[in-house]
Amino acid sequence: MRVPLLDLTRQYADLADSIEPEVQRLCRSQQFILGPEVERFETELAAHTGAAHCVGVSSGTDGQLALLMAMGLGAGDAVVTTPFTFFATAGCLHRLGIEILFADIDPETFNLDPQAVERLLNQLRYRNGSLWSERGNQVRCLLPVHLFGQCADMTAINQLAARFELDVIEDSAQAIGAFYGGQQAGAMGRASWFSFFPSKNLGAFGDAGAVTCQEPDLAERIRAIRNHGMTAPYTHTGVGGNFRLDALQALVLRKKLPHLNRWTELRRAHASYYNQQWEERAIQDRVCGPRIAHESSFGPAHIYHQYVIRSRHRDALKAHLDERGIGNAIYYPTPLHQQPCFASLGYGAGACPVSEQASREVLALPVFPELTEEERHAVVEEVVGFFG
């Protein structure tokens, strides 16, 4: 049996009857940029996440860029983040001339390790009431990523931020609906951003994103920056970009948002099945499933944007699954501190050993909501079969 890593056509088949008439209505209106659909989506997403404000943008990447610009971050500043994540997290920092300070990850959750962050901060110079990097840049923020759908250790990270007088901005691109204690991803730092790339748990019909924050003034700056810094018709109080959210994407996201909790529970059921099977088949010493680090009684602690296992035999296992038609992917094969474009930062091999080892061992298996029992059984049989 062939099993896809992701099949969005199944989700669309369930929603087509409700979405297509609304798309036709929007086409008749010819109102495609910002407008009422975007405003309604912003209100609904803010309520869903618990954030005070939400600004729709053209992608998760553009959301991060707009936020950094709105916060006034740029050359002369430094931000601490993880090397084990999608490229955009560090790419946006570099694009604005911000120095990237990489701290290693927790080996079981893949999220930023607060102890590694603390060690890094303690090594930096402290003068004039601020932390400074060796290159002479002021450290302004901690940037945890809620990777694969599980929140980073926000208690420890926020405590470090308070101790060193730093802002916390969350990369929630993969974690919409994930809880940490009584709060959701996107509402635990000064600000955050989400991606609605089609493959995300809440996916648009193309690129789309949103920024959430707690301060009304910051939200207004982001709104201006997403529209070339314009605060009144043809009045530009700053330089922004074209980061506007299309009404079509807002419409699609509004139609999908009420289904998100149900889809999350299906993903969690698939993950639970996999975890149970590794234990029952006695291969848990060769296949390590995701560990839930922080439970929450308020909602799911892990939304399984990806179900990622670890195995010392990853490459051979991947080849076996490829041959048998079982969808899989490596997120991520090269940690960011080893990317050629960041060579000038001076991070050599061994600088972030936990991230480097993870990049050699991780493998994502199918976990999308519409996965059938037969398909997930086939995934397990092929993984177990590989280990004999």
Question: Any idea which residue has 């059984």 for tokens?
Answer: 377
Rounded Cα distance, 73 and 139, in Å: 10
Q: What are the pLDDT digits (tens) for 322-364?
A: 999 999 999 999 999 999 999 999 998 999 999 999 999 999 9
361-376: per-residue pLDDT in tens? 999 999 999 999 999 9
pLDDT digits (tens, 9 = 90+) for 143-185: 999 999 999 999 999 999 999 999 999 999 999 999 999 999 9
Six token digits for residue 338: 């080893």
What does the block give as tokens for 128?
Answer: 């004039």
Q: Which CATH superfamily is domain 259-386 in?
A: Aspartate Aminotransferase, domain 1 (3.90.1150.10)
Q: Looking at the chain, which residues constitute the CATH 3.90.1150.10 domain(s)? A: 259-386
Q: Nearest-5° angle of CA 223, CA 148, CA 103?
A: 80
**Which pair of structure tokens corresponds to residue 356?**
């480097």
The structure tokens listed for 264 are: 């999350």
CA angle 288, 84, 188 (to 5 degrees): 95
Q: Are strands 191-195 and 167-171 parallel, antiparallel or unpaired?
A: parallel
pLDDT below 50 — which residues of the chain?
none
Q: Helix or strand or coil: residue 27?
A: helix
Chosen CATH of 8-103+110-258 out of 3.40.630.30, 3.40.640.10, 2.60.120.260, 3.40.50.620: 3.40.640.10
- Return d(Cα 70, Cα 77) in angstroms, integer: 14
Q: Range(s) for CATH 3.40.640.10 in the chain?
A: 8-103+110-258
